Amino acid sequence: MTTATVSRLPGDVAFWDEFLAAVRPRLGETTKFTREEPLAAKTTIRIGGAARLYAEPGSVRDFQTLMVAAAAAGIPVFPLGRGSNLVVPDEGVAGLVLALAHEAWAGFEPRPDGLLWVGAGLRLKNLCGLAAKVGLTGFEFLEGIPGNVGGALRMNAGAMGGWMFDVVEEVRFISLDGTVRTASRAELHVDYRHCAELQTAIALGALLRPVAPTDTESVARQIDVYKKKRQESQPRDPSAGCIFKNPPGNSAGRLIDQSGLKGERVGDAEVSLIHANFIVNRGSATSADLIALVRKIRKRVDDAHGVELEPEVLLYGKEWRDVL
């Protein structure tokens, strides 16, 4: 059966049902594929509605099947990592969410040549811990970034003066047409919190270059230093990490703080009292609350400092410029 059998419109429940029914038989048994999957619990800020279609592909082949079928039916595809830098709209996502939750993508394989292969679904916390155990150093700064490798590549995530692409040799990714490709660091267009190629493709894994091997104790010590620093300066309540990018040469957190916004609230969305560039969910915040608060912050910081803050978190399935 092909997706040509899907004849209804995307606003129509049957459109999504028929897509699922047509594609499900072509997928492996371990691939999860569902309708109306709630997404809030799959994000760290715990906001938002359901995915019209949701899959956890268990193989490259299933990734390809799903992506090619979605493209043929005109269905947009959205990768989902750890959901740590993500705000899901209250109405959910009109598309196919592809999550790297299957164990097939959580690989951690030190190689004889000293490089390290990691799957895109591997959590940064686990990468950091496993590397420390085998004495591979250079990944300590990733401790405490609550994402996985795929999300960190897409966002070029960073902390403690380092960012993901500092340690990347090459990335394996799958494009929207289902083509799998490996690109070296030099071939990729990488910037602060951005990797151009991964805006339209999904990372499957990466080859990383550790710094020279060292003793496991000093790696563990460095991880502890970063952990302590972060625990003192960042909130533990549900959040999506830093909400805004740092403007060149400045700190969004400081600007928001200096604008008197700590504790500012819309519904259950609140500017953290600990770090002003975090919006925390105080219970049952909605994406509408969060967007209203983002608007308020941008206006106040612009009025007080003449700086237009740009959101860092993704608004899933939408563009910030359409809601701000």
Applying CB under 6 A, which residues contact ligand EPU?
159-160, 233, 241-242, 245-246, 251-254, 257, 275-277, 312
Nearer to ligand EPU, 52 or 298 (CB): 298
d(C-alpha 24, C-alpha 294), whole Å: 39
DSSP string, 60-107: HHHHHHHHHHHHHHT--EEEESSSSSEE--TT-EEEEEEE--SGGG--
Cα 130 to Cα 135: distance, rounded to the nearest angstrom: 9
Which of 78, 217, 90 has its CA nearest to residue 151? 78
In angstroms, give the least distance from the CB of 8 to ligand EPU: 39
Task: State the first-to-last Cα distance of the chain, in angstroms, to the nearest integer.
Answer: 42
Residue tagged 């916390």 (tokens): 125
User: 53: which 2 tokens?
Assistant: 């279609």
In the bound state with ligand EPU, the residue whose beta carbon lies nearer, of 245 and 318, is 245
**Toward ligand EPU, which CB reaches closer, 35 or 262?**
262
Q: Output the smallest distance, CB 35 to ligand EPU, in A.
A: 31
Q: Quote the least distance from Cβ 253 to ligand EPU, whole Å.
A: 3
Residue 312 CB, shortest distance to ligand EPU, in Å, is 6
Cβ at position 99, least distance to ligand EPU in Å: 20
What is the CA 5 to chain-centroid distance, rounded? 33
Nearer to ligand EPU, 92 or 144 (CB): 144
DSSP three-state, residue 181:
strand
* Paired tokens of 79: 């990768």
Nearest CB to ligand EPU, comparing residues 94 and 271: 271
Q: What residues contact residue 243 under an 8 Å CB cut-off, 6+ apart?
A: 252, 277, 278, 279, 294, 297, 311, 312, 313
Exposure of 112 in the CB half-sphere (CA atoms within 13 A)? 0
Residues 6+ apart with CB under 8 A from 302: 308, 309
DSSP letter, residue 124: H
Q: Tell me whether residue 192 or residue 217 sits nearer to ligand EPU (CB atom).
A: 192
Q: How far is the CB of 158 from ligand EPU (least distance, A)?
A: 6
Q: How far is the CB of 145 from ligand EPU (least distance, A)?
A: 7
Closest CB to ligand EPU among residues 65, 239: 239
Nearer to ligand EPU, 184 or 231 (CB): 231
Least distance in Å: CB of 260 to ligand EPU? 11
Structure tokens at 229: 């620093």
